[in-house]
Chains A and B, each alone.
Chain A
Amino acid sequence: MTRLTSCFERLKNEGRKAVIPYIVAGDPSRFGTVPLMHRLVDAGADIVELGVPFSDPMSEGPVIQKGHERALDNGISLRDVLGMVADFRQHDSSTPVVVMGYANPVERMGYASFATACAEVGVDGLITVDLPPEEVDSLRDQLELVGIDNIFLISPTTPEPRIKTIVQSASGFIYYVAVKGVTGAGHLDTADVASYMTKIKEATTLPVCVGFGIKDAASAGAVAGVADGAVVGSALIDTMAQTIANGGSEELATDNAISLLKSIRNGVDNVPTGV
């Protein structure tokens, strides 16, 4: 059983929902990322999503764009990101790590070498924002060979027949993009998410996690009421960036991000069952 599958199984048995922080590898600093990953896990993260910085992150709002720019300024490449996962695995062999990014760095490295490297360092899943099902076949084949899940996005604009097609080739979990827009934008409408969630759940038994638009304990709690997990990215990255912009240290920035994650964990856990 893969780390992702056993993670969701454990959560299900415990009656809990997944908290999934997203951070950009190498932001705010190259050497802060692996310690930050461990602290996120200690603070209640079930899965860690590690963003691969890209020069042209088309689906990101301004907050995460700046995170990508800072990471690139720190010289972070896809190989560096995989190196960070390897470091993380030295002290954590159970928390799933999902790598999220854009197609071109992976294309450049080559699908086969990328998949092999992912398996070696202990990556569990991959989300490639600009590889929809129509374009992902050859990469997914390589990932399947080494037992890594390719995680698909479904959005509010995905029609029902297409949902059925997407879930057929999906594994790990489904990532539901809750708002039309870029990361960190818009207001989440829980009722909309709930009704859409029903459609996805009718098509698959895979866990469905929700991202885009989750900012705090309240929005995370609301999402956890209708989904299997909540992804939070921009809010964490913004907290760290704001702290540093106000003259705070990276340590303080991390502390503040950890506090936010803890409150999100509480928001998710305090959901009354059956809602």
Chain B
Amino acid sequence: MTEMRSPEFFASVPDPQGRFGPYGGKFVAETLMTALADLEALYRDLSKDPDFQREFDTDLAHYVGRPSPLYEAARISDEIGGARIFLKREDLNHTGAHKVNNTIGQALLAKHMGKKRVIAETGAGQHGVASATVAARLGLECHVFMGAEDVKRQALNVYRMKLLGAEVVPVTSGSRTLKDAMNEALRDWVTYVDSTFYIIGTVAGPHPYPMLVRDFQSVIGREARRQCLERNGRLPDALVACVGGGSNAIGLFHPFLPDEGVAMYGVEAGGHGVETGEHAAPLSAGTPGVLHGNRTYLMQDENGQILHTHSVSAGLDYPGVGPEHAWLKDIGRVQYVSANDDEALAAFHRWTRMEGIMPALETAHALAYAERLAADMSPEQHIVVNLSGRGDKDILTVAAIDGIEL
């Protein structure tokens, strides 16, 4: 098995067809196939181009503020009395989440393609904000598709996007959440494919998106790995990240995949509890299928219709997941688990009060699981949690749940 788990093994996906084992691919209408092929060809060239890499790294350093710190959450770790928990502080990035790593990269691709218009889908609004931000900076027209339900529960981010000059398009079809926003973005792209670059926010969608979003987000794991070695003189014992589409998780996990001693946990949104059916945990309780351009695990009924999902966090409220996660689950390299709404909310409050770090509700799922995991480990062991985003955007949601009127 050692040979199976070499760096080459993990670098072998996706294959030239965009497949991660049986997952991934390009399941889109013919109209988009040429646009995807063009993007793939451009990315293949640019990803080997030192000038492009330098441009990307410079933006990450001076615009995003990288590297992000690795912070030891001493107080909570002491209280749990188990493994030491370290936070990879993606919340300290410009715009407040990991999402910007990817939008910087894709905006550079859009610039190289000479596109004047960008579109994006968004759930919690973090990817929408990160897209509107890079569009403002490059003077690009930006349209963000957002489920009408999410427009309501993420009003602060909606206004942020408008301030940045983006047009926010509320999507009223289907379940009015992230999945429907992605449908609408794909419909827009098919209509304006000549002028438009689609900035997909997660490691899902048709090839080459899962690959290029992974590559852009892998800066998280590369930094974290280096920081662990510098600071602790060794690699961590476990990594924990929340998984909606899975971009922050793959960003942290990917550079560690060949490190056999590093366990990995992707935390899905358990909603009201995976056993209730009201959740957003396709890897925990779904089956393989095809949606939004790729084959992956989905929440679907026996007739192949996509089910409505539930999560307190808009960013995890998605019935699918990136195809590389589906593959990592099947080969057993990453364990996929879940945390419920209540556990995430409790973690949100605890980490805010005990560490002075207010996590996004998405991130709070990872923290909730990390607490459980740490308790079963020893103080000599280390866990790195991807603190993927800050929670300012969720204040109104949390206040409403707590029955507080602002």
Contacts and interface: CB of A to CB of B under 8 A. Distances in A.
Band of interface residues on A: 35 or more
Nearest to B31: A155
Contacts of B303: 77-79, 105, 108
Interface string B193-230: 11000000000000000000000000000000000000
Interface stretch (B50-58, B71-79, B231-239, B285-293): B285-293
B27 A131 contact: yes
Contact of A180 (B174, B193, B300): B193
Interface in A31-62: 54-62
B180 to A, nearest CB: 8
A147 B134 CA distance: 52
Contact of B173 (A65, A131, A153): A65
B290 A58 contact: no
Contacts of A102: 290
Interface stretch (A157-165, A191-199, A214-222, A244-252): A157-165
Given A157-B193, A180-B190, A181-B190, A107 B30 contact: no
Contacts of B288: 107
Contacts of A206: none
Contact of B27 (A55, A130, A152, A158): A130
The interface residues of chain A, by DSSP majority, are classed as loop
Interface in B17-37: 17, 25-35
Given A58-B186, A107-B304, A153 B191 contact: no
A182 B26 contact: no
A181 B26 CA distance: 18
B21 to A, nearest CB: 15
A65 B174 CA distance: 9
B405 interface: no
**Among B30, B174, B191, B302: residue with most chain A CB under 10 A:** B30
B306 interface: yes
A255 to B, nearest CB: 29
24 contacts: A54-B305, A55-B174, A56-B291, A58-B183, A77-B305, A78-B303, A103-B27, A104-B298, A104-B305, A129-B29, A130-B28, A130-B293, A132-B27, A132-B33, A153-B30, A155-B30, A155-B31, A156-B31, A157-B32, A158-B30, A158-B34, A177-B30, A180-B193, A181-B190
A56 B30 contact: no
Contacts of B192: 180
Contacts of A157: 30-35, 193
Given A55-B174, A153-B30, A104 B190 contact: no
A184 B179 CA distance: 22
A105 B304 contact: yes
A74 to B, nearest CB: 13
Contact of A108 (B27, B28, B191, B302): B302
Contacts of A130: 27-29, 290, 293
Interface of A: 54-62, 65, 69, 72, 77-79, 102-109, 129-132, 134-135, 152-159, 162, 166, 177, 180-182, 185-186
A130 B288 CA distance: 16
**Among B31, B187, B291, B295: residue with most chain A CB under 10 A:** B31
A82 to B, nearest CB: 12
The 3 closest A-B pairs by CB, nearest first: A108-B304, A105-B304, A181-B191
B246 to A, nearest CB: 19
A232 B257 CA distance: 51
Contact of B187 (A59, A106, A154): A59
Given A56-B183, A181-B191, A182-B187, A104 B29 contact: no
Contacts of B183: 56-58
A153 B304 CA distance: 23
A166 B29 CA distance: 13
Given A58-B186, A108-B304, A180-B190, 17 more contacts: A54-B305, A55-B305, A56-B174, A56-B179, A58-B28, A107-B304, A108-B302, A108-B303, A132-B27, A134-B17, A157-B32, A157-B33, A158-B34, A177-B31, A180-B192, A181-B187, A185-B191
A134 B100 CA distance: 32
A79 B29 CA distance: 24
A78 B304 contact: yes
Contact of B191 (A69, A135, A166, A182): A182
B190 A59 contact: yes
A26 to B, nearest CB: 12
A72 B179 CA distance: 17
Contacts of A134: 17, 25-26, 33
**Among B28, B180, B289: residue with most chain A CB under 10 A:** B28
Contacts of A109: 304
A158 B298 CA distance: 30
Contacts of A65: 173
A102 to B, nearest CB: 8
Contacts of A104: 289-291, 298, 300, 304-306
B200 to A, nearest CB: 14
Given A56-B291, A58-B186, A105-B303, A158 B33 contact: yes
Contacts of A58: 28-29, 183, 186-187, 292
B194 A59 contact: no
Contacts of B191: 180-182, 185-186
Nearest to A59: B29
A54 B190 CA distance: 19
Contacts of B29: 58-59, 129-130, 132, 153, 155, 177
Nearest to A175: B30
B18 to A, nearest CB: 9
A107 to B, nearest CB: 5
Contacts of A106: 304
Nearest to A103: B290
Given A78-B304, A108-B303, A108-B304, A180 B30 contact: no
A160 to B, nearest CB: 11
Contacts of A72: 305
Contacts of B300: 104, 108
Interface in B60-103: none
